Copies of this chain bind each other. A is one copy, B any other.
Amino acid sequence: MKIGVIGAGNVGGTLGRLWAARGHQVLFGSRDPGQERMQELARGAGAQAGTVAEAASFGEVVVLATPWHGTQEAIAAAGSGLNGKVLIDATNPLLPNLAGLAVGTTTSAAEEVAGWAPRARVVKAFNTIGAGYFANPTFDGQAASLFICGDETAAKEVVAGLGAALGFDVVDAGPLKNARLTEQLAMLWIDMTYLRQAGPIAFRLLRRPH
């Protein structure tokens, strides 16, 4: 398959290299295809380097792996080469300092709850999997993860204990603000379960030794 990669940083560079190694034809597109780094990347991968427009035209599949702030401009540079193409969007619209997403997120149920109950020690939990699995959250030998968000360690430890007692794999998912993230994970569970009939599912955080 011919694959164009727009944004040859970490994500695009890795995908292009791996797919080239598996026999696909890869063209890395960048604003400055003549730069040494691009030439080395392409040479090392057994791929080509070109402009963004060339990558778009070249690929049957085009990967978009740009920093968010450069994404709109890259698409403009790709132009009509994208027409009809499978365009893999691998971007994430990050705010500076990984403070969150630049689009689509303003609050969460948990933050609203904390606003309404300002003297309670709010911990977000038990929202990312259906209650039907609380009694036995194990799937094919793997415990589902219980994602816990909160701003107070002692309160989170209490909830962690309650979740572990049910057989969950407890995951500290950060401050209460991160309920913005786990509530969307819940929405994914709900969407797949009820709208897409994905069957009995759950999410687990996989880990690997450092």
Contacts and interface: CB of A to CB of B under 8 A. Distances in A.
Interface residues of A, number: 109
Copies in the complex: 2
Contacts of A85: 120-121
Interface of A: 1, 3, 10-11, 13-15, 18-19, 22, 61-65, 68, 71-72, 75-76, 78, 80, 82-94, 98, 100-101, 103-110, 112-114, 116-117, 119-127, 130-132, 134-135, 139-140, 142, 144, 147, 155, 158-159, 162, 165-166, 172-174, 178-188, 190-192, 194-196, 198-210
A110 B135 contact: no
B92 A206 contact: no
A80 B195 CA distance: 39
A14 B93 contact: no
Given A116-B72, A196-B172, A201-B207, A87 B121 contact: yes
A203 B205 contact: yes
Q: Say what secondary structure dominates the interface of chain A.
A: mixed
A179 B83 CA distance: 21
Contacts of A188: 147, 173, 178, 181-182, 185
